[in-house]
Amino acid sequence: MKNLFISAALVVSALSVSSCKKDDKDTTPTETTGTVELNMAHRWGMGADNFLLNMELVHPMTQDTMTFTTFKYYVSNIKFKKADGSWYVHPESYFLVDLATAGSEILSIPNVPTGEYTDMEYTMGVDSLRNVSGAQSGALAVANNMFWSWNSGYIMVKAEGTSPNSGSGSFAFHLGGFMGSNNVVTVKTVNFAGNSLTVTGGHTSEVHMTVNPAKLWHSSASLATTSSLMMPGATAKTMATDFYGGIAFDHIHE
């Protein structure tokens, strides 16, 4: 019985200790981390027209008329570099941008230590390890329909819609591949060039990026020639490389 009393006392004191902590927090607002939001703004073509689902667009190069019904892609492994050369690596850093899901174009990275950051690194696609590591959760769950069932691997970019230029009246491009020459996974870096990213305790800093879906066909044929692609390979590689190449840092908003 004595043991029980002792443990009860311990529990009570533990509770009171943790409630003390809470009070401390309220009175001392010095937080050591902040949040960075990567804001992916989608713009169609060099004229930077609006890009929305279910909106008729004309491709600036192929002249195809296109209406997107699905536009989804993965961004992963986001890292920030401090002026002293050290990196903050965001853990479990996988994001699925899905234009059909409001808010998914804002990638929120909490718990970034306060300080000045000069560079950012991010990966377009899903690193090869996660393509071979079994059932994943969250952004990487297979239920997101971004995983090939018959030929394991993530679909890293999915663009679907309708077009009068396509023989079938529709188009569907599922780009992926993580092995050898078919690997589309692309690591990208941004140097904030003098205008460093300041992370302040308890605040959110925004990094604005622009994404141009028209780039997918920058050096690829009209939908009249190819309107569907469902596997890794040279075409997927070209389209992904062009698309990823067009993703650019725009500005910081603190």
Partner 1 sequence: MVVSLLITSTNNNHSPLFDRGDFFQNMRTILFIVAISAFLFSCKKAEIENYKEWGFEKPSHFPEPHYKFENNTQTYDRFDLGRELFYDPILSLDSTISCAKCHAQTHGFADHNVNFSLGVNNTVGKRNSPALSNLAWYPNFMWDGGINHIETFSFAPITNPLEMHETMTNVVAKLNASAHYKEKFKKAYGSETVTDQKLLKALAQFMAMMISAESKYDNYVLGKTTFTSAEENGLQLFKTHCASCHTEPLTSSFGFANNGLDSDFTNDLGRGLVTQDPNDNGKFRIPSLRNVALTYPYMHDGRFFTLNQVLDHYSNGIVQSSTLATSLGTGFNFTTQEKQDLITFLNTLTDQNYLANPFLSEKKK
Binding site for partner 1 (CB under 8 A): 1, 3-4, 7, 131-137, 141-143, 145, 147, 149-153, 231-233
| 75 closest CA partner among 193, 202, 209, 198 | 209
Alpha-carbon span 147 to 38, nearest angstrom: 24
* 51 or 94: CB nearest partner 1: 94
Burial class of residue 24 in the structure, from the number of CB atoms within 10 Å of its CB (0-12 exposed, 13-18 middle, 19+ buried): exposed
**Shortest distance, position 205 Cβ to partner 1, whole Å:** 32
**Shortest distance, position 97 Cβ to partner 1, whole Å:** 19
**Shortest distance, position 143 Cβ to partner 1, whole Å:** 4
* 137 or 168: CB nearest partner 1: 137
Neighbour tally for 170: CB within 10 Å: 15
Q: How far does Cα 226 stand from its chain's mean position?
A: 27
184: number of CA atoms within 13 Å, CB side? Answer: 32
**Shortest distance, position 84 Cβ to partner 1, whole Å:** 34
* 99 or 236: CB nearest partner 1: 236
* 68 or 147: CB nearest partner 1: 147
